[in-house]
Structure 1
Amino acid sequence: MFWFKYKYVSVQGLENVKLPSGTPVALNLTSSKTYTFTSAKNDSLVLNSGSAIYPLDPYTKQVFVYDGPDTNSPYLGTVLSFELDQALRNKSSGSTLTLLNVYNETSYSYAMVNDYSDILKYTSYSFFAFSQKYPFDNALNALSGPINGVTFFCVDCQEAYISSLNLLHYPEKDSSIQLQPLTPAQNQPVYLTYSSKDFSNQSLPQLIPGNLFTLSTDANYFAIRLESNDLVRNAWKKPFYGKKGTIFSPSLWTPGANSSFDQRFESSQSVKFTFNVPSLVINQKGEELRVQIGSSGANSFNTVFNETLSNPGTRVANGTYLEATFSGTSSKSSTIVTFEMKDPNESTITTTIKSTTDFSPRGFDSIIIVLPLFFAFFG
């Protein structure tokens, strides 16, 4: 003998919320509404989900998935069943998917619904969420095929840091990962590439001034740690010999965001700073990129760029700090600055300055010969 209790709940006539594909959406859904994802390309849709707390969020078993524009459409299963059974992760039959959280339970997961054509290039595709309290620190292995994709989303931060990375390929060969802003739907440029052939942890931590980005790789194993907290933020700003990195305008990783920044790296000992500007886009009059290298109590070496340019040449100077400041006021403006930090007692380096927007402390465009512990300028 057995018995059960049930409650009938009508899901007809609920308010419907329209959502675009290609953007993460919190699955903390209200039971009085349905949520429909629609492809702007009239394409089929694929659902992924990720939690910043649980490897598998048990509350997503109460979020129902329907293959169509409403709850009259065929029932496909729950969000949790999609995560547990890869075979269920098929594309929708049409251009819409509808979600319903009938139990009104709190979920800490996020859904990522992509157009099928945007992820078709990947052998496998995953979505992961992380937060300031719960970093992403995991390995993805047994990857196959020429390229695999992963989208990462920080749920409560506006910037993330790569603090560790390991990538391998069997049989042994060179492999790489590439990172680009947003999701596969936006098809953004690749801004960071790491190759197993020449990768060094001296390139880490690396700041990504955005909270949504996609990684592509041909490696069949990689491990990565992504985090956003004061500890890694301070590590990013701490110079050491061999350190390499790239400074980006936030507008490159989050369209519409501010393009300005002020990044300062300061050491207690002298460092040989090397930098270049792969890209600078000036969209408003008065915007400028200024890179300053100096030491407390001494004249600093200032380089100012106020015109759109790319790769004007490498600059080298010794000091205890490097500060890069971009005064961009337009979200359409942007810059990328690469840097490297070395022991100043290494051999002398000679660099030719070509740009007319470069100003030394004496106001000369010149050949700079950098000697340990001081600057020498020759007109």
Structure 2
Amino acid sequence: MDFQSDSDTVFIFDNNNKHKYYLVNTGSIYYDSLLIMPARGAAVQVVGVSGKTRFFMSYTYQSLSGYQQVLKNTGDYFPLSTVNGNNFYTITASTTTDQVVAKFAQMAGTYLDPYLHDIFVYDGDNINTATQIGSLDEVGSTITVSAGRSISLVNLYNSGPSVTAYFLGNDASTVQGYSKYSVILATNQSRISGTLSDLTDFGAAYTFICLDCSNYYWASMNFDELATIADKGFISFRGQTPTHQRERLIRYDPLTYTSSYLPQLLPTDVFTLNLYLSRIAFNLTTTSPTWNAPFDGRKGYIFSPNLCTPSANSFNYEFRDDTQLYNYTLNFDKTTYALNTDLITLRIGSGNSTPTLDAQYPRDPITNGKVSATGNYMQIGLAASAGADIRLSFNMAQAITPSVSTTQGPTVQTTTPGGNQPVFTCPTSPITVATGTGNLPSGATNLTVVPAGTNCTFTFDIPNNYAIQLRFSMDFQSDSDTVFIFDNNNKHKYYLVNTGSIYYNSLLIMPARGAAVQVVGVSGKTRFFMSYTYQSLSGYQQVLKNTGEYFPLSTVNGNNFYTITASTATDQVVAKFAQMAGTYLDPYLHDIFVYDGDNINTATQIGSLDEVGSTITVSAGRSISLVNLYNSGPSVTAYFLGNDASTVQGYSKYSVILATNQSRISGQLSDLTDFGAAYTFICLNCSTYYWASMNFDDLATIADKGFISFRGQTPTHRREQLIRYNPLTYTSSYLPQLLPTDVFTLNLYLARIAFNLTTTTTTWNAPFDGRKGYIFSPNLWTPSANTFNYEFRDDTQLYNYTLNFDKTTYAVNTDQITLRVGSGNSTPTLDAQYPRDPITNGKVSATGNYMQIGLAASAGADIRLSFNMAQATPPVSTTPGVSTTAGPNVTVSTVQTTTAGGTQHFNRFIIAVLVLLAIL
């Protein structure tokens, strides 16, 4: 294909004559681009307007009879790279009465694997007779239930070696009740963080699969207090996939959960997390330097591994802190020994001396289901048969107050390259702004060895109009050595981890009113150095913005700070960042501090923008302020939008998405709560959107209540909702729909949709039989010129055009609507002006090839029109390869092909280069 004009188009239709794909003008020539369509039919429509575009297509029927079957069961995961060549994979449910739900799995934070589109999903165990229900990128993005006991996968493109994703099929009975279900891959070096949210009565599930490790660590978690239903919400964990139907072993709810429960080890390569009426922020790792570290108030659970995974039923754990005594309590919640040789060992003691407690169970007695003792360490071991069921929990409490000096035994000195010999000692009081700047440990000028047994906390007092710059240098020699950073609330905020490389002068800035750095040494080999500098905020200049205004965060830089103020004195502010659809979270958002007020010298810092902007966080007062103390502004690609809190805080979720004049955004939006969701779309360099296609998910959407609606600008602008679709009345004949604005807000309620949105379209002006739509004066959407000129034309076909005048308010005498309906270059059948000419029953109808509608009006005019199109005569008959000319410079040729087999449904053509929008 060699496009010479955006007016020339190529459409591909499936067997149901449904528009599936289209080729677009990318500025380059397509050569031999492959598209495979399944049984039972397809059509390619070529429309020429310019007379300059060039087209060529070849076709080959491909037999599926030679493909060999590979059998898999639900609950088995496998790499999709193996679905290749002349094989196809059949996944079968575990019982004859169950069905299958297909899911692909990818690493957290990665783009949707484009090669998933190459894998066809058939609803049955034989690709030669079963119906193709879609490509895996589509089928695996929703909870799609097979009709029978099996599904089959085949890659007819032979792109298997390029596929990085994995596959997991589950028994439908174990997942189809959830509002959403996803599968995430991990490796032995994974650190996964983010937010999970489900505020429906159905709950959500997530299966995590580690490809080369056997342990996970649930490292940190916070419930979102604004979103979570406190007395009902929870998160729970169980081993393996939903199909394995293992018992849920751990459950946290917001009324009883505290951070003292974490980190929690999960002894399995695969686990499933269930979320109900909750939103959480979390960190999950497959390596942890802190699992073995005691701390005051710590709690946790220990299970026999067979409860999580079919592995050896044994473990050996040690919790140790040689600088501190702890009262360790082990609770025997359930102990079922299958054989006489099943054994639990427990040792609690200090140093190298004889343990205070050295016991074996069931040999030794247990009082009231628990055992307690004091020491530096607790060692717990299990050697048991597969039938043993062991469930333990533990508590730790600091036995004595640690001394200020953290050096145990002889003082350890290390020689730095500068020749100094500092002793690693801790300050006895907080460091204050009076110090200004300094190095730690005291006297150090370079990396200094952290002696074994060190547990030192450096505490900083930070006045309101200051922040502190901490610069870390770190040479880890062991995963057991740790550095933790705490905020003013003594909340564990960050930690340094062993990456295998040396940190040099890594900058971390902490805001008022305090911070602490805890250094724990176990190996005696790790080296540490930190410098600090107090940074005054008094010289920063204020830039004022209002809610409803968006701006690039790259401008929040240097010595300025931005204050965003609500539109009324009684309102508050919700801060949101905006990014292009399908992009990673901008890491530089973390550099932007959010202060709860209009003065960064007196207001409280409530978090970094990546945290605050990920939830609906309401300011305490009328204003918030943003500052980038790292001066990384030029690197920030995201934008900012603040809204009046009263316009968004009632939603279950709210997001802002950027677009450009070349954007094609495709994905799913879902909200099944009674609160609804909202999404604001901002085009940076265009003034029109096209809502191109949409489908309601029949299984998830509440048919008599759900809807999607559109209004101009941001929620703060409080514009009227102009378009609303509900599943009982919506059909695809309403689309594409033009939205004449650079900014619009979409509201979703009790519905899940799949959609396509573009800022360029070749189909808005194309009539078709049964088409419907809306036309509004632009001032209802945006403060732009209140004019338009639209033409709908098909010179190969006559249509009965009907224009409905739903509302027409003319503000001045010169306000005018023009309407022309006609054919070819002859005099129009209808050539009217309104309000000059009469209208019967609020509508005007005429027949022709085209309909032209224009508006020239003042800002006060309120014009709301809708239209219908109906084919007036049968379409021009065409045969494969035969061109028919209708009017000058217009060529239409249609190629029909029929193949044997079933029916293929909604799909996406990768030539169209659509971007996945993943909004949770």
Whether these two folds match at TM > 0.5 is yes
| Structure 1 residue 163 corresponds to structure 2 residue 216 | no
* Paired residues for 1:125-136 under 5 Å: 125-136=181-192
2:135 is matched with which residue: 66, 78, 81? 78
**Alignment-derived partner of residue 194 in structure 1:** 252
**Secondary structure, counterpart of 2:238 in structure 1:** strand
**Alignment-derived partner of residue 213 in structure 1:** 271
**Distance in 2 of aligned mates of 1:316 and 1:6:** 76
* Paired residues for 1:82-93 under 5 Å: 82-83=139-140, 86=142, 89-93=143-147
**Distance in 1 of aligned mates of 2:306 and 2:175:** 24
| Structure 1 residue 267 corresponds to structure 2 residue 359 | no
| Structure 1 residue 15 corresponds to structure 2 residue 15 | no
Distance 1:82 1:218, change over 3 A: same
Distance 1:6 1:270, change over 3 A: farther
Q: Which amino acid aligns with 2:374?
A: N
CA contact (8 A) 1:249 1:258 kept: no
Q: Which amino acid aligns with 2:126?
A: D
**Alignment-derived partner of residue 254 in structure 1:** 309
Q: Which amino acid aligns with 1:217?
A: L
**Alignment-derived partner of residue 369 in structure 2:** 313
**Secondary structure, counterpart of 1:28 in structure 2:** helix
Distance 1:70 1:223, change over 3 A: farther
CA contact (8 A) 2:198 2:276 kept: no
Q: Which amino acid aligns with 2:369?
A: G
Q: Which amino acid aligns with 2:341?
A: G
The alpha carbon displacement at 1:228 in A equals: 0.7
**Secondary structure, counterpart of 2:115 in structure 1:** helix
CA contact (8 A) 2:238 2:250 kept: yes
**Distance in 2 of aligned mates of 1:77 and 1:146:** 25
Gaps of 5+ in 2: 1-53, 402-920
CA contact (8 A) 1:62 1:105 kept: no
Seq. identity, %:
26
**Alignment-derived partner of residue 165 in structure 2:** 109
Distance 1:37 1:218, change over 3 A: same
The alpha carbon displacement at 1:157 in A equals: 1.1
| Structure 1 residue 38 corresponds to structure 2 residue 92 | yes
Structure 1 or 2, whichever has the larger Rg, is 2
Q: Which amino acid aligns with 1:153?
A: I
2:243 is matched with which residue: 185, 198, 214? 185
Gaps of 5+ in 1: 347-379
Q: Which amino acid aligns with 2:390?
A: T
**Alignment-derived partner of residue 352 in structure 1:** none
Q: RMSD of the TM alignment (CA)? A: 2.5
**Secondary structure, counterpart of 2:290 in structure 1:** helix
CA contact (8 A) 2:329 2:395 kept: yes
CA contact (8 A) 1:15 1:32 kept: yes
Distance 1:58 1:248, change over 3 A: same
Q: Which amino acid aligns with 1:2?
A: F
**Distance in 2 of aligned mates of 1:125 and 1:243:** 32
**Alignment-derived partner of residue 114 in structure 2:** 58
The alpha carbon displacement at 1:310 in A equals: 9.7
**Distance in 1 of aligned mates of 2:80 and 2:365:** 44
Q: Which amino acid aligns with 1:13?
A: G
**Alignment-derived partner of residue 69 in structure 1:** 125
**Distance in 2 of aligned mates of 1:309 and 1:57:** 56
**Alignment-derived partner of residue 286 in structure 1:** 341
**Alignment-derived partner of residue 299 in structure 1:** 354
Distance 1:323 1:10, change over 3 A: same
The alpha carbon displacement at 1:5 in A equals: 6.3
2:78 is matched with which residue: 8, 19, 25? 25
CA contact (8 A) 1:280 1:310 kept: no
| Structure 1 residue 118 corresponds to structure 2 residue 118 | no
The alpha carbon displacement at 1:259 in A equals: 0.9
The alpha carbon displacement at 1:120 in A equals: 3.4
Distance 1:9 1:225, change over 3 A: farther
| Structure 1 residue 99 corresponds to structure 2 residue 153 | yes
Q: How many residues in Structure 1 have an aligned counterpart in Structure 2?
A: 338
CA contact (8 A) 2:321 2:377 kept: yes
The alpha carbon displacement at 1:7 in A equals: 6.9
**Secondary structure, counterpart of 1:236 in structure 2:** coil
**Distance in 2 of aligned mates of 1:239 and 1:285:** 32
CA contact (8 A) 2:206 2:272 kept: yes
- Could you give the per-residue CA deviations for residues 198-250 of structure 1, whole angstroms, max 9, x where no partner exists? 21222111111001111222224223322212xx1x21011111221112222
Distance 1:286 1:131, change over 3 A: same
**Distance in 2 of aligned mates of 1:154 and 1:55:** 19
| Structure 1 residue 344 corresponds to structure 2 residue 404 | no
**Distance in 2 of aligned mates of 1:98 and 1:61:** 15
Q: TM-score, normalized by length of structure 2?
A: 0.35
CA contact (8 A) 2:123 2:133 kept: yes
**Distance in 1 of aligned mates of 2:262 and 2:87:** 44
**Secondary structure, counterpart of 1:34 in structure 2:** strand
**Secondary structure, counterpart of 1:105 in structure 2:** helix
- Could you give the per-residue CA deviations for residues 321-376 of structure 1, whole angstroms, max 9, x where no partner exists? 00001122x22224222111111139xxxxxxxxxxxxxxxxxxxxxxxxxxxxxx
**Distance in 2 of aligned mates of 1:213 and 1:111:** 15
- Could you give the per-residue CA deviations for residues 19-51 of structure 1, whole angstroms, max 9, x where no partner exists? 111232221223221100112322221111120
**Distance in 1 of aligned mates of 2:381 and 2:123:** 50
Distance 1:308 1:322, change over 3 A: closer
Q: Which amino acid aligns with 2:201?
A: G
Deviates more, 1:131-140 or 1:193-202: 131-140
Q: TM-score, normalized by length of structure 1?
A: 0.82
**Alignment-derived partner of residue 618 in structure 2:** none
CA contact (8 A) 1:66 1:98 kept: yes
The alpha carbon displacement at 1:6 in A equals: 6.7
The alpha carbon displacement at 1:95 in A equals: 1.1
CA contact (8 A) 1:52 1:108 kept: no
**Distance in 1 of aligned mates of 2:375 and 2:395:** 13
**Distance in 1 of aligned mates of 2:307 and 2:365:** 16
CA contact (8 A) 1:50 1:110 kept: yes
Distance 1:205 1:285, change over 3 A: same
Deviates more, 1:309-318 or 1:39-48: 309-318
* Paired residues for 1:218-233 under 5 Å: 218-229=276-287, 232=288
The alpha carbon displacement at 1:171 in A equals: 6.6
| Structure 1 residue 173 corresponds to structure 2 residue 230 | yes
CA contact (8 A) 1:140 1:221 kept: yes
**Distance in 1 of aligned mates of 2:190 and 2:286:** 9
